[in-house]
Structure 1
Amino acid sequence: MTLSLKKNVIAEPSVAGWYAWSYLLPPHTLAKYLKNHYRTIAESFVANPETHRTALRQARFQGGPFVIEEHEGAYEKVAQWFETTREQYAPLLELADAIDELELKILPEQTGASMESVYQQLPEPLAGRVELFYNRDNRTPDYRFIEPLLYSSPYFDRSLQQIRFSEIAEDDRKFALTTPVLEYTPEQVLVTVPLDSELLDVVFRGGLTREELDRVTADLGIEGERAEVFKAFFEEDAAQEPPADDVMEYVGHACVYVRHKGVSFVVDPVISYSGYPSEADGRFTFDDLPDRVDYVMITHNHQDHMLLETLLKIRHRVGTVLIAKSANSSLVDPDLKRILRVLGFHDVVELDDLESVETPGGTITALPFLGEHGDIRIRTKCGWLLDLDGKRVLFAADSTNVSPQLYPQVTAAVGQVDTVFIGMESVGAPVSWLYGPLFPERLERKVDAGRRLKGSNFEQGAAIVDALRANSVYVYAMGQEPWLGAVMCVEYDEKHPAMIDSDKLVAYVREGGRTAKRLFLHETIELKP
């Protein structure tokens, strides 16, 4: 008899006490989010919890900077945690102050003269860890981080990394990004462990004897009653069905699973749990994955496309992770390849626009991806064109057709695409919702409202489909699956612009005699030539 985690046990990673996402791994981005976002949330909650409670009674404030109190006594636990961690987080706040000094004081004084002497003005946390330069106008100063030196500095502290195990009883998840990840109840077990630890692979792989489970529990530092709670998260293994070949499954949101000639692909892994009475019938869960996922393809570095909670759970299965060419080494676009390696993924491959990798029976090609990032300089994004013996599928993610000339040129370069998956969240959040803590100064409200994290509207989406001459079109990545609640707060009714736009696109494609559908929960999709 062997044991594995129950299907309804969730493992929520955290960094510095907050639900972990990719920008909380690099020290420089973590520092800025702590100073300009998370600390503000915690201070506000501790000072006036009723403000948070009142705000969260209104739907329009869901997903805002408010702490959610799911459990009795949560206020006391957050207040105590916030007070006891001040000293631990002080170095990161010093790093954030140093970045502000560079951006708001030192660089604005540079107008084109040599920067050689400016290096001597750098505050200590940045000295030797940044490069200064001018943009091509020879007047606008800028800089980049030398990221490996930040990761090897005291500002990268693995002791800030934790993971919380607990059981859930339904699909719906509370928004997790603004509430500290603590042990609120005796049924939760919070473990301080580096997120790249092989111990986590042992836990998630399962198949443990009772002696092995005892050993890994001890190695994780879990003792006493907490050890008994942790071991109760495991159950006896059941027989698994072998994976089917030549399948394409919509898993939810932007996640699609493909298996062809024994090779498996997962795009933007966000996978639901199961094992509780209220689960949606027939969905794709972790149990449906094969023992090995040959390729994980990440379209861009947002929480709903690169979900650490899912990635860590499947890490032991993953062969190669494919990402867009990265390494801007800026606050808004940190090196994603390095982030993934810090998370324990060893085989990470970057592809530039129109670059490909060969796979058995086909290729994977990175295609340009515009929009959805509020007009800030983000290089780490692409669509993935998967060729399966001539059947060509594009995962366009949230590509916004802001340049109508792009996709005709893409088609001229790569040829017709048979099937297109496209996101159509045509409103999106203001750019500051995600990136605001990284900006040196607050954006004007009007400017912020006009720069959105959005996908294509009907006209833009139809132009993409027509340019690619697609026979099948699937609208996805709409954030409607209930398990997306941890990282998204999107609720549409039939009058929402995103629903209207996507309905119009589906109707437009069908009127032309082609296949189209807006996807939800789960769908098995025929691989059409």
Structure 2
Amino acid sequence: MPVARNPFYDGPVSDHFDGLRFHSPSEPPANGLLELAWMNAVKAARYWPTVTPPARFDRPPRRVGGLRISMIGHASLLVQVGGTNLLIDPVYADRLGPVPGTGPRRAQPPGIRFDDLPPIDAILITHNHYDHMDIPAILRLSRRWEPRIIAPLGNDVVIRRHDPGIAVETHDWGERAILSPRLAVHLEPAFHWSGRGVADRRMTLWCSFVLTSPGGGVLYHVGDTAYGDGSIFPRVRARFGRPDVAILPIGAYEPRWFMQGQHVDPPEAVQIMLDCGARRAFGHHWGTFQMTYEAQEAPPLDLARALDDRDMPPDCFRPLGPGMAVELPWR
């Protein structure tokens, strides 16, 4: 029986919401369960090692006045900027799946131990896929620090199903939240989708984030995206100016016939950097959970080749592994 009502969001129809489901700006080809089953049946994946310890565990400072980006793993990052501490898509789970003990297993431990986290002021959630929304981690963080939780439309209902009293702010593309007098976060489009089960596909919104400061600082963070028609990336530059930093996904991209409508590959990530005009970029979404077919070490190698093909220096776009941290100026 067809679903006639969205249980997560009942807002007005828009150019990316038809009253039931959300849509990307230009909808990429949607692969379904049959295609996923076929892909898994082929078993062409390059198998990863069971556990690869990170080179280091980061112990971040309590606060920073500039910009510090720390990689926890996969798409989970600690961003310390202008005295504010943000977690983006924090995942501390060992497995990714709807049932405990199922789904891809963590291949690298978190690069920041939970007890080494500084006080968290806000959690930013790009979308509700299990590798980006870890409900137990969100609840644990909420109990410890009561941070603001900011997510795209409909994701408040997803989180409150596990804790009805938790405060979650949701926003549409083009909206913003003021985090401090020195920092705002803007929700911007991505070419992606959402869903945590078989019947809720695209019923909650997904997004990218742009952090801005009154002094002109711009940080562009993309959680998951396909390249699509490429239209959304130059618009970030047009609206906010050239990003000082872009944090872009570089992994989970093989096989391309299946993943191209969901995740960029390293050459497309380089193109996004050029499209938005970012002065430098850092790569995430690789090496922690085996979700697709490429080898664990493939994304950095493919990124290096993509930069070389364009005669771009390797240090302009660096992959971040668990426990790595970079400190940068911030306006």
TM-score by length of 2: 0.66
1:406 deviation in Å? Answer: 2.1
Q: Quick check: 1:456 aligned with 2:276? A: no
More helix by share: 1
Q: CA deviation at 1:426?
A: 5.5
Q: How many Å apart are 1:394 and its aligned residue?
A: 1.4
Structure of greater relative contact order (alpha carbons < 8 Å, 6+ residues apart):
2
Corresponding residue number in structure 2 for 1:352:
172
**Alignment counterpart, residue 230 of structure 2, candidates 394, 404, 414:** 404
Rounded Cα–Cα distance in structure 1 between residues aligned with 2:310 and 2:177:
31
1:307 pairs, out of 127, 134, 137, with 134
Q: Which residue of 2 aligns with 1:338?
A: 157
Aligned partner (choices 295, 303, 321) of residue 149 of structure 2:
321
Count of aligned pairs:
265
- In 2: Cα distance, 1:367 partner to 1:451 partner: 22
Q: Is 2:205 the counterpart of 1:368?
A: no
2:320 pairs with 1:492: no
Q: Unaligned stretches of 5+ in structure 2?
A: 8-12, 22-49, 53-58, 95-106, 196-200
CA deviation vs aligned residue, 1:362-416 (integer Å, no higher than 9, x gap): 2101111113669x64551101111245332111012211112221223212221
Measured on the aligned residues, the alpha-carbon RMSD in Å equals: 4.0
Mapped to 2, the partners of 1:245 and 1:395 lie a distance apart of 19
SS in 1 for 2:327: coil
- Percent identity over paired residues: 19
Q: Distance in 1 between matches of 2:307 and 2:116?
A: 29
2:42 matched residue in structure 1 = none
- Offset of residue 418 of structure 1: 1.2
Secondary structure of the corresponding residue to residue 147 of structure 2 = strand
Letter in 1 for 2:126: T
The answer as to 2:308 corresponding to 1:515 is no
Separation (CA, whole Å) in 2 of partners of 1:507 and 1:492: 20
**Are the aligned partners of 1:362 and 1:390 in contact in 2 as well (CA < 8 Å)?**
no
Residue 342 of structure 1 and its aligned partner are, at CA, apart by 2.4
Aligned counterpart in structure 2 of residue 475 of structure 1, from 280, 283, 292: 283
Task: Give the drift of 1:251.
Answer: 1.5
- 8 Å CA contact 1:270, 1:310 repeated in 2: yes
CA distance in 2, matches of 1:251, 1:353: 26
- When the two structures are superposed, what TM-score results if normalisation uses the length of structure 1? 0.43
Give the drift of 1:323: 0.7
CA contact (8 A) 2:246 2:278 kept: yes
Taking a change above 3 Å as real, the CA distance of residues 299 and 505 of structure 1, as seen in their structure-2 partners, is: farther
Shift in CA distance, 254/513, structure 1 to aligned 2, threshold 3 Å: closer
Larger radius of gyration: 1
| Distance in 1 separating the partners of 2:136 and 2:232 | 34
Residue aligned with 1:250, SS? strand
Checking the alignment, whether the CA contact within 8 Å between 1:357 and 1:365 is kept in structure 2 is yes
With over 3 angstroms needed to count, the CA separation of the structure-2 counterparts of 1:315 and 1:429, relative to structure 1, is farther
2:73 is matched with which residue: 252, 255, 260? Answer: 252
Alignment of 1:161-310 (within 5 A): 172=51, 243-246=62-65, 247-271=68-92, 283-290=111-118, 292-310=119-137
Which structure 1 residue ranges, 5 or more long, are not aligned? 1-101, 108-125, 130-134, 136-141, 146-170, 174-239, 274-278, 327-335, 431-448
